[in-house]
Each structure stands twice: as C-alpha cells, then as structure tokens.
Structure 1
C-alpha cells in the first residue's frame, strides 16, 4: 500500500494528512513548528511504512523554511505545490467551497496520489548551490531596495533641491555613488550647499574615496552648487533637509547591503564547479552568473531538456490555439528573478559576442521590439547554457552562432 503525505503549512503549526492509494485517510495530526513537531512527523511517517528504501512523498505549499529543509535532508521526494494550483484541486473535494487546514492537507496528499507526474519534486541542489541562491537572491533584493530608496530620495530632492541632482548627475553612479551620498550628508539644503568652501568640498571627496581628479571635481561642484534655483521658505527648506537625511540613511543602508552581499555571492559562486562554464558565456560575469546559478541550480535532472529551462526562464513564447485562432505571446508565468538576470545577460552580450549582436539585429530587422529581440536572444543563450552544463563544456561562439553562408551570385540570379 502506497501512502502519500500532505502538509498544510502555517507559521506556528502544521496539519498533516496521510492517504492511501484509494484516497482514504489513514492518519492525521497537527504538529508544532519545532524539533518536537518534526520528530512527531517522522514517527508518523515511519509508522506507515516510511524507510530508507521507501520514502513517503510529501506535498507542501512552500519551498522555504526549516521544516522543508529538514524534509529535503531526509532524501525523500518533496513537492512544493503552488497555492493557486492547490485551490483548484480543493474544488474536487467539496461543492460548497468550504476550507479548513485539515482539508487543505488532504488535498495536497491527493494531488500526489492522482497527479504526481504533473508536478516536480524540489531539486536536489548541492549545499553550495543553495548557499549561492540565498546570497544571490538577497543581493538582488538589496539592489531593488536600493533602487526604491534612491527613487524616493530623488523625488524628494526635486521638491526643494533640484540643483543638487544636476550637480551629481555627471558622477558615475549618480545619486547612489559614495560622492553624492557624502555630499548630501554634508549639505542637505541649498543654503548649506552654497556655503561649502573648496576645502570642505575637497574633504568630502576624500571621505567618499575619490583619489583622482579631485581639484577639477571641486571646481565643478563649487560652481554647480551655486547656480541660482527656485527655493522653499527657509524653515520649510530646513525641514525638508532633515527628511532628506532620513531618506539618505535608508539609501546608505541599501547601498552597503548590496555591495557586501555582492562580494559574498561572487565568492561563493566562484567556488562552485559550474562557475567556469557559466562565466565562459559572453555577457555573464560572476555576479550575474551567480543569479543564474541561483535559479537553475546544479541538479542536472531538474530540466529534462532545454525547452523546460527556457519555459521556466520565461524566454520561450506561449502558443495558444483554439479552432482557427492562433496566437503566440510572451510568457507571463515564469521565474521573475531568472528573467531579470536574463535581460542583463542578453543586453551585455551585444557588445561581447558578434554572433549575439547579429542575432539581435536580425530580430530587430524582422520588426521585433527591443525587449522582444533581447528575450529571443536570451532564449538562444540559455539553451546553449543547458547544453554546456549537461555536456560539461565551455561556450563556443562558432557553435552557438554558426556563420551563415553568403548567397552566391548564381543563387541570387
């Protein structure tokens, strides 16, 4: 008798349901979210035939948390079921659309009983790959937080200090650069900025880490901060300056977090055996490569072929056909993190790979928009990546983009 386990996850407790081949409930329990609850779950599974050679599969609506990590460490099949998919299955078991934790656990168990082949087990990634995933995703979140904090600060400065934005625009990194942040901390209002002397500006640049071209930059900033502009009332200006300092502290924290996590992610990624193959691709550096590895993992059995990986990344289009109607559209359901990394990868490869540039230009010549052409290029590149990782070979420009033969005069005639 085969047994299937469903776990309705919650923050402080979990409901367990075990069903057999016929969908009959054989056991149920509610466990706490701690080591004692985990042991109760393992004992319950052992009482119903779980062993080293016959692991009972588990379905749960999350892929994170200590419970999931411990279940994965026990070498059993763990299925992370999308909550939206589970809600559709729930309608099979009740016509009145009732809902309870126990019912949800039974629904998850029955999903494995009837449609396990339609769902994927969680990948068996190595410990290092999981560590890279945590650091790369955290760094990507920090970059998004930095962008949000910078946009809030920029919007606020537009209301009372537009001259500062004009002054720091030529600086590499703009508002996020160390020079711009240290300068704003030293002079958060137009009045204080106009009183900065050359000596003070020189000190600001040195505190920000500037080493070259200091005198020219001092001259430029000294003039830019004294350009006449519209002003708020003095007390209002001071109040808005205090608010800007508060927003600046948030931006400083986001910038520091992004930089520190980038170093940690790169260090962990470069220690992975797949790093050399991934970074052999044009447009993929260590940081972007870490983001790609974080999402695809190093479990080679996760994707049966390149088509599955392309669909997962959102690079492959979706074809919808019904009767005489046929439409091909961009894929909306995808791994958003991998898709974001893929855009950066494809865009950077335009200057690093002649074949990628020619492929992009052909797509543009066929009336593709910029985003569509980059997505098509990403589709091509990630297919090559799947091949290289499977075969353990490095990227080959001539194999990825074979040269097209020029049409002869006789053919043209």
Structure 2
C-alpha cells in the first residue's frame, strides 16, 4: 500500500462504532463514535472530510482498517468510495500485546486507533478489499449459501442413515447400488411412507408404485416395485412396537429436513448458474474442460472480476492454495503445501475441477500422468494440475480469450504394435 497522509481505523460493534484517524507520525487527529445507520456513516465520513490538509487531499484517499471483510458497515463504506482494508482480529490482538504486553484491557477507542496505526506502520502487508462488480458480489453470496446448503444436506443424510440403522436397516442398503443413494427422491418418498421395518413389510405393491411415481420415476416401475417389495419382506431385527413408532416419527422428521436441504441446494445452484451466465466473462470459464455452471460460478465468485487483483498467475495460484511455500529455519528447509494462507473454498473447488478434467481433457490427463510418473501423489498431482489450469485462466482473462487446448503439451502418441 502506498504512503497516505492520513490513516483511519474503525472498531465496529452491533450498535456503536469507534472511528480514529492518525497522521503519518501516529498523532491522533480525530476520533468519533457513530451508530451503524446511514446517518451515522455519513457522520463518520464527514469527520474524515473535515481533515483537509491540502487541496490535493480527498476523503477517498484515506484508507480505513476494520476487523471485517463483509457486512453492512463495510458495504456502506465501499459504496461511498472509501478504501477498506480488512485486518484479522488475531492480528489486532498481537499488535495490542506488542504495544503493551502486560495490559490485557480492551478499549474500543483504543482499538480504532490501533487499527489506524497498523495501516500506518505495516500497511504494505495488508491488502484492501478488491473492487468487484455488484454481479460478482451477488454471485459470491449465492455460491457460499449453496455450499452451506450442501453441507447441511450432507449432515441430514448422515443423520438419516444413522437413524435408519436403528429402525429400518434394509432401507440403508436398498438404494446403495444407485447413484445418489438416500438422496434420491424415490428413496425419501418410500422411507417417509414407511420409516420402520414393520411398516415397510406391510407396504403393498400398489403403495410402493404410487410412491415411486410421486417421486418422479417413470422407467422400470414394475421391476423396481417388485425389487423393493421383496426386499422389505425379508425378516429383520425390530424394536418393540411403541419404540419403533417413536423412532419412525424421528426418521420422518429427518426425511423432511433432508428434502428441504436438497431443494435449497438445487434452488441456490440454479440461481447461481443463471446469474453466472449474465457475466461477460462466463464464456471464458465455460471454455475450460471440466467447468460447468456451478464450478464456473464458484470460480468467478471467489476470484472476482477486479482486473488489478492478481498481477501474476503465481499470485492467483497462491491465493487458491495451488502453490507451495518454503519453511526455513537454520539448517532446516521444507517446501510445504499451502493450507491456511489460502482461500479454502477456492482450493476445494479447484480439487474437484482438476479431478473432473481427467476424463474430459486428454491434455490434462497427460499432464496428471506425467506428474504421477515423476513421483507426485494423487492430491499433489491434482494440485499441480489446478495451478496449471489457473495459469491458463489468468492468461485468458487478461487477454479476453477462450481456452485453447492446443496450447497444452499433448500426450506422446503410442506407437502401433
């Protein structure tokens, strides 16, 4: 970060926020407490604007440090054109201890001044928030919500499977050979109809067929009906009737939660895909092998569309956790996988993206095989492939070009035998 004339820090809370402004020498030049309201934000910005040191000074040239990267206050500051620099609370705590190791007291006004001084002394170590478009900000909200919905869906799936083992063990394996298993609508429909071994054994073929039809199944209805009917007739260990009924009610409740989580994840994924296709860069993302609407949405949401965010492809790969870092101390030197200092959502998305290219791109498969032959393990080879894909993505975004597989080294041809 370049040298500024003034530096500001905001210690935020639910209701009242403290603003402090210091000059280049660390001298406090302003302090103000304001509410988290539109009028309060205007008051804080007016305090900064009143500190006109020269005709070249502008309120927007004062960076603001705050212990948050999102929220209504951060959004309001950015909408007014203010440069916002997020600082992790753990970093602030360490700075506080460095200044006065024996004092453990916390002061909101003191923390605001401390944030301003962090920018003054070590501003070059902290990056301001990138300036993404509104569409990308909305896309990021949708993709992260969809990821949370997927995790909730997985939680209810594991919960349902555990409950079924105690009351209806046959249902755990009834759809195990099919894609989706208990996530399948037909599985949830049949289990909701008969959540215990006793009620499942009393199901008629007509009831099972009707449940499959309600779930949307249209093919091989008779065969699937017969298979499930025969499976449920097999004797299984059972609980006492009253206990079985209670456990069955619990299973029905979990099935409803699982169905709601599945619907939420699908709805958010569809909304993210629709928003993604409105962005002018979406054809570039979709031109890469293994990238569909959801993967492209997550990549665009996490990388953003600020053209000045990543100056080099190495910086983009490091942000995604696809480049290693060197740990050195004395005679010890290690090259390790970047785990914490990276965007974990982007790293997870990149792992799945690289894996999906193995069956969609001969060039990517050849690169993966070369890395495996060189001694890399599966995860390390995928990580290197992800870094290579990000390098190509960085080039394509910089030059507004779609991906060209011919730019990758092709696999050597196998001689005819």
Task: Pick the TM interval, shorter chain.
Answer: over 0.9
Displacement of 1:193 in angstroms is 0.9
How many residues in Structure 1 have an aligned counterpart in Structure 2? 407
Which of 275, 280, 284 is equivalent to 1:277? Answer: 284
- Which residue in 2 is equivalent to 1:194? 201
Displacement of 1:26 in angstroms is 1.3
Displacement of 1:147 in angstroms is 0.7
Which of 75, 95, 99 is equivalent to 1:69? Answer: 75
**5 Å matches for 1:61-140?**
61-98=67-104, 99-140=106-147
Describe the shift of the 1:405–1:282 C-alpha distance in structure 2 as closer, same or farther (beyond 3 A): closer
* Separation in 1, partners of 2:130, 2:180: 38
Q: Does 1:8 align with 2:11?
A: yes
* Separation in 2, partners of 1:246, 1:79: 45
Which of 249, 254, 262 is equivalent to 1:247? Answer: 254
* Separation in 1, partners of 2:357, 2:130: 29
Secondary structure in 2 matching 1:31: strand
Q: Is the 8 A contact 2:198 2:238 kept in 1?
A: no
Q: Does 1:20 align with 2:26?
A: no
* Separation in 1, partners of 2:60, 2:143: 35
**5 Å matches for 1:180-259?**
180-259=187-266
- Which residue in 1 is equivalent to 2:33? 30
CA deviation map 1:51-106 (0-9, x unaligned): 75753111111111111111111222111112222222223322324322122111
Displacement of 1:49 in angstroms is 2.9
- CA-based RMSD: 1.9
- Which residue in 2 is equivalent to 1:322? 329
- Mean Cα deviation higher: 195-204 or 316-325: 316-325
CA deviation map 1:140-188 (0-9, x unaligned): 1111111111111111212221101111223331111111111111111
* Separation in 2, partners of 1:190, 1:254: 25
- Which residue in 2 is equivalent to 1:393? 401
Describe the shift of the 1:404–1:389 C-alpha distance in structure 2 as closer, same or farther (beyond 3 A): same
Which of 41, 49, 62 is equivalent to 2:44? Answer: 41
Q: Is the 8 A contact 2:167 2:244 kept in 1?
A: yes
Q: Does 1:264 align with 2:271?
A: yes
* Separation in 2, partners of 1:337, 1:249: 28
- Which residue in 2 is equivalent to 1:177? 184
* Separation in 2, partners of 1:74, 1:120: 19
* Separation in 2, partners of 1:109, 1:53: 15
- Which residue in 2 is equivalent to 1:369? 377
Q: Is the 8 A contact 2:366 2:411 kept in 1?
A: no
* Separation in 1, partners of 2:197, 2:294: 38
- Which residue in 1 is equivalent to 2:349? 341
- Which residue in 2 is equivalent to 1:357? 365
Q: Is the 8 A contact 2:181 2:187 kept in 1?
A: yes
Q: Tell me, which stretches of 5 or more residues in structure 1 are unaligned?
A: 409-413
Q: Tell me, which stretches of 5 or more residues in structure 2 are unaligned?
A: none
TM-score in terms of structure 1 length: 0.94
TM-score in terms of structure 2 length: 0.93
Q: Is the 8 A contact 2:60 2:83 kept in 1?
A: no
Displacement of 1:406 in angstroms is 8.2
Q: Is the 8 A contact 2:363 2:411 kept in 1?
A: no
